[in-house]
Amino acid sequence: MDNHFNKVSPSFDLFNSEFVPGCRVIDIFPNRFSFHLFSKCNEDNFKSQIHQLDGLTIKFLSNLSHALIIIDASIKNNIATSISHVHIHNKPLTKTLHHIVHIMSIKAELFAIRCGINQATNSTCISKIIIITNLIHAVKKIFNPSSHPLQDHVAIILKELRIFFSHHQENSIDF
């Protein structure tokens, strides 16, 4: 009998400290992250949002302790492309571009988010991270404590955020 399917997959690590109630990032640091949703209801709202985004970008890029991350991912012809740009004080820190074949789009999106967060949190002087993305559905998976097949990526992202939030009580991230 073939038993290769009778093992625990690392994707469902329910005993990982990042998923234990009371020890989760959402439980320990509930005020350190926020979501700013955009909706394109009408042309005036769209122009207002673009103007706010421009102002936010200028404000963030003028501060040495802020990191701006722009993330996107898409699939075309069964090839996923994920890209993340990390800027600190108006200087591009990294641009990461990955092409992956035969992958779910949500996994490519989480990978792009993970790369961006990893690059920004590696800089010890950063206290505020803002992520601009149209992948908010993937971002919300990170903070969803229920079990899902992408927990391997989520656990790594949450571990990086836990370390980042623990460095200083002012550290935060906005999506």
Is residue 43's pLDDT more than 70? no
| Pair 125, 21: CB distance under 8 Å | no
Residue 118 belongs to domain with CATH number: 3.30.420.10
Residue 40 lies inside a defined structural domain of this protein:
no
* Mean pLDDT of all residues belonging to the chain: 77
pTM of the model: 0.74
Residue 18 lies inside a defined structural domain of this protein:
no
What is the Cα–Cα distance from 11 to 149, expressed in whole angstroms?
A: 6
Residue 86 lies inside a defined structural domain of this protein:
yes
157: left (phi over 0), alpha (psi -120 to 50) or beta: alpha
Residue 120 lies inside a defined structural domain of this protein:
yes
Is residue 154's pLDDT more than 60? yes
Q: How confident is the model at residue 164 (pLDDT cuts 50, 70, 90)?
A: very high
Identity of the highest mean pLDDT range in 47-51, 72-76, 104-108, 168-172: 168-172
In the prediction, which pLDDT does 46 show?
73
| Pair 100, 92: CB distance under 8 Å | no
Residue 29 lies inside a defined structural domain of this protein:
no
Residue 137 lies inside a defined structural domain of this protein:
yes
5-30 residue pLDDT tens: 444 444 455 556 666 666 778 888 88
Q: How many residues are listed for the chain in this entry?
A: 175
Q: Are strands 128-133 and 91-101 parallel, antiparallel or unpaired?
A: unpaired
Residue 50 lies inside a defined structural domain of this protein:
no
Q: What is the percentage of the chain residues whose pLDDT exceeds 90?
A: 6
In the prediction, which pLDDT does 21 show?
67
- E strands along the chain, which residues? 33-34, 66-76, 79-88, 91-101, 128-133, 172-174
Show the DSSP H helices in 16-150 as ranges.
Answer: 25-28, 43-61, 105-121, 136-142
In the prediction, which pLDDT does 1 show?
46
Domain that holds residue 80: 66-175
| Cα 63 → chain centroid | 21
C-alpha triplet 161, 27, 12: angle, nearest 5°:
70
Sign of CA dihedral 57, 63, 129, 113: positive
Is residue 104's pLDDT more than 50? yes
52-91 residue pLDDT tens: 777 777 777 778 888 888 888 887 887 878 777 787 876 6
How many structural domains does the chain have? 1
